[in-house]
Structure 1
Amino acid sequence: MFTVFVLGNIASGKSTACRYFESRGAMLIDLDELAKSLYVPGSDIVNALADEFGWDILDEEGGIRRSILASRAFASPDSVARLNGIVHPVLIEQLSLRILDPVCCTVSSPRYPFAVVEVSAPTGFEDAFGLADEILVISAPLSVRRERAIQRGMVPSDFDARSACQPDESALCNLATTVIDNSAADNSLFEQLDSWLACHGFIDTPDKEEADA
């Protein structure tokens, strides 16, 4: 299955782009949600996180208190790296199971035309990029993203702390096969996404749609 990893820093519009791809028929995999699904009480990964970030990140049932884990794991680039070192190997294995076609003696049509993997924290996850056919970055300047986040109710200091743990825009864009500019607050994001979809044959081009009509 054709697989595109979608990257973007906080308030870039990455999640909006991923949901739009899903509405266009993609299988959407949110890596954050996939990682959370691995946090099974008593599992090796949960025990390793507790050893690293403190056993008080666990609730009475042995599950992860996500807000406490996040406050510690995203406190600095070093703590993010420690979190990634625990979670990423298992995450990559589970992601592979979802997007790689099974080896079998019969050929069947995939349910989805393509897969979209939403990657919120690409730093340290580069080992998984070989699973992608394309890396797409949704980009916007830091000042634009900060203003958006604050307008949505995020505390400025929280944005600054989260942003400090993310790559700068130029470094992020250097990872990309394709960069989508989402600086403007208009429909240009969706127009660019439609162009990408049409170029890959996942939707008809506007000219063809008009001709068919």
Structure 2
Amino acid sequence: MKRIVGLTGGIGSGKSTVAEELAARGATIVDADEIARGLTLAGGEAMPQVSAAFGPSFVAADGSLDRAAMRKQAFSDPAALARLEAILHPMIRARSDAAVERANGPYAVLVVPLLFEKGSYQGRVARTLVVDCPESLQVERVMARSGLAAEEVRAVMATQWPRWRRLQMADDVAWNGGDRAALANQCERLHRAYATIPRE
């Protein structure tokens, strides 16, 4: 059985940065968000169902998902979010499973923002790694990266587990409240441990 590590953390915590560090050491990265983006591009596998479920106002001029409109709808209407997830999650799961099977590094890292919240991924991973930082830093990073207002970032954070609960569930934690060098040192230690996970 392949060695699989589940990587998660709140929005803006630095999951992609940790994934980059582990990839540089030979890990195969399978990112659920990247898969979701591919599914909702123009011509993406999920777009016919998304358009049918939500209507043309959620489809951009180029045929891709109108992310801003969908974000606003999904985070103000739990039923809409559930409908979107019902469309996307089975496709994401199938594609991530296939990508993990193709992985040829010493271990695969499955990046899933809602790893704990959704639960269905946990039985597939040997270890869970949470990327952690202060919530104020999460907000600051996402505002700088995405141009969202602070209240919009906090609305997304409210749909995710709080820090304490993620930390309680984690097998391992990468602290990303400092500089890149400190994070790289942590990732080196984690990489060495993950490369020797017993194969079942």
Q: TM-score, normalised by structure 2?
A: 0.80
Q: Confirm or deny that 1:156 pairs with 2:156.
A: no
Contact 1:139 1:182 in 2 (8 A): yes
Aligned ranges for residues 58-69 of structure 1 at < 5 Å?
58-60=59-61, 62-69=63-70
Change (3 A) 1:180 1:51: same
Corresponding residue of 1:194? 188
Q: Confirm or deny that 1:132 pairs with 2:133.
A: no
Q: Confirm or deny that 1:147 pairs with 2:140.
A: yes
Contact 1:41 1:63 in 2 (8 A): yes
Corresponding pairs, count: 194
- SS for the counterpart of 1:5 is strand
Change (3 A) 1:61 1:145: closer
The CA deviation at 1:127 is 0.8
The CA deviation at 1:60 is 5.0
Corresponding residue of 1:167? 161
- SS for the counterpart of 2:88 is helix
The CA deviation at 1:41 is 6.1
Change (3 A) 1:45 1:24: same
Contact 2:6 2:115 in 1 (8 A): no
Q: Confirm or deny that 1:116 pairs with 2:109.
A: yes
List runs of 5+ in structure 2 lacking aligned partners: none
Q: Deviations over 1:93-147 (max 9, x none)?
A: 121112136xxxxxxxx63222112222336532122222211100122123223
Contact 1:39 1:45 in 2 (8 A): yes
Paired with 1:123 and 1:133, the residues of 2 have a C-alpha distance of 14
List runs of 5+ in structure 1 lacking aligned partners: 102-109, 203-213
The one-letter amino acid paired with 2:55 is G
- SS for the counterpart of 1:86 is helix
Contact 1:136 1:179 in 2 (8 A): yes
Question: Which shifted more, 69-78 or 79-88?
Answer: 69-78
The CA deviation at 1:45 is 3.4
The one-letter amino acid paired with 1:187 is A
Q: Deviations over 1:22-72 (max 9, x none)?
A: 111111122111122223767773333234433321245643233332332
Paired with 1:71 and 1:99, the residues of 2 have a C-alpha distance of 32
Question: Which shifted more, 56-65 or 185-194?
Answer: 56-65
Q: TM-score, normalised by structure 1?
A: 0.76
Q: Confirm or deny that 1:39 pairs with 2:52.
A: no
The CA deviation at 1:13 is 1.4
The one-letter amino acid paired with 1:160 is R
- SS for the counterpart of 1:187 is helix
Contact 2:5 2:110 in 1 (8 A): yes
Paired with 1:42 and 1:195, the residues of 2 have a C-alpha distance of 41
Paired with 2:44 and 2:109, the residues of 1 have a C-alpha distance of 28
The one-letter amino acid paired with 1:126 is G
The CA deviation at 1:86 is 1.9
Larger CA Rg, structure 1 vs 2: 1
Contact 1:81 1:124 in 2 (8 A): no
Larger proportion of helix? 2
